[in-house]
Chains A and B, each alone.
Chain A
Amino acid sequence: SAVISQKPSRDICQRGTSLTIQCQVDSQVTMMFWYRQQPGQSLTLIATANQGSEATYESGFVIDKFPISRPNLTFSTLTVSNMSPEDSSIYLCSVTSGEDYNEQFFGPGTRLTVL
């Protein structure tokens, strides 16, 4: 299994500012994903972080708002830009390491509150 860490674990931010969330994996992984989970709801995929190329964003999410970096096979960042209270959520990094995509693990999450 993959061990995933995220920083920060939580933060309280002011409207209009930006926050960068880091995701570190203890092994090289094929796919890294960024999810958002708002209170009481299921997970929503923001984007797939691709190593060496731009991230692939899901409908409703754009690069200007959620820029993503993936400089290598063990690390990725997600930035939440120009934050508003609607961005208050848990942000989760997830990786898949099985050859058949049958092993998917989550980081502990970053709890973001925007005032």
Chain B
Amino acid sequence: GQNIDQPTEMTATEGAIVQINCTYQTSGFNGLFWYQQHAGEAPTFLSYNVLDGLEEKGRFSSFLSRSKGYSYLLLKELQMKDSASYLCAALDSNYQLIWGAGTKLIIKP
């Protein structure tokens, strides 16, 4: 079956760094997405990885290891506005997105 696993909730301190992990099992693989979703709002695209390695975009970086079926989202210099759910989603061989349940990130002052 197809499955995405990510932690349910994480807590971090303002100004610190946090890494949100995601493991996936899909029928074929065409890339891994990370989305940010604030409560009551639609998901916002953060990153897309299809090749192994680290993609950096400002305070956010995303890493992919295809051989391990593993990705992480790294958030640096955390700000209070980063409090949100972070959704991991894998694109399978039919170009369907398989969604994780999301990781709720709580930022404390």
Contact = CB atoms under 8 A, between A and B. Distances in A.
Interface of A: 31, 41-45, 90, 92, 96, 100-109, 111
A104 B101 CA distance: 18
Contacts of B95: 31, 96, 101
B33 A104 contact: yes
Interface bracket on B:
20 to 34
Contacts, number: 43
Given A42-B87, A101-B30, A101-B91, A109 B45 contact: no
B45 A103 contact: yes
Interface in B50-98: 50, 87, 91, 95-97
A102 B40 CA distance: 25
A45 B43 contact: no
Given A100-B31, A101-B30, A107-B42, 11 more contacts: A42-B87, A42-B99, A42-B100, A45-B97, A92-B42, A92-B43, A101-B31, A102-B50, A106-B43, A106-B45, A108-B42
A44 B4 CA distance: 13
